[in-house]
Amino acid sequence: MKELLSLSTIEGDFPDLYKWVRSITRYNDFDKFVVVERDEPHESRSVRIKFWTSENEYSIRASLADADYLGCVVSARKPRTGEDWTRGNDLPDGRYCEETWLEIVYGILAYELSKTDIYIPVAMEEHSVFS
């Protein structure tokens, strides 16, 4: 059974992850925005951080066990019309380091961006094949 934790309980085992997650939560109320899970109770070498947007659920796994690892997956919170499953994608992953963390944050931001319906014409002289 998964063990649910407060973010502050992982500060000792994952000080960098604790700092990184705090940096993306509003008002320092991180326990209102994220859930921390351990697959095995009292397993201090691996955790999963979960948080939600209106459309998606994000799950970031951090492990200091066999190999240092940090990775993220996203799943839709509800199925599309006519489907009985939720869609998902892998987002960046790699070594447990700040560079991977930033790739994950940028991946989440890119995943959440919505395409605009505003048309912005491109000036023809800027893209002329004759210049």
What are 80-123's pLDDT values in tens digits?
888 888 888 999 999 999 999 999 999 999 999 988 888 777 76
Per DSSP, what are the bridge partners of residue 37?
Answer: 4, 48
| 3 state DSSP class of 15 | helix
Spatial strand order in the sheet of 46-52: 3-5, 35-38, 46-52, 56-63, 69-76, 88-94
Which of 36-40, 98-102, 127-131 tops mean pLDDT?
Answer: 98-102
Residue pair 64/13 in contact (Cβ under 8 Å)? The answer is yes
Q: Domain limits at 68?
A: 3-127
Over residues 21-32, the pLDDT tens digits come to: 988 887 777 778
Which of 13-22, 65-74, 94-103 tops mean pLDDT?
Answer: 94-103
| 3 state DSSP class of 17 | helix
50-66 average pLDDT score: 91
Number of domains in the chain: 1
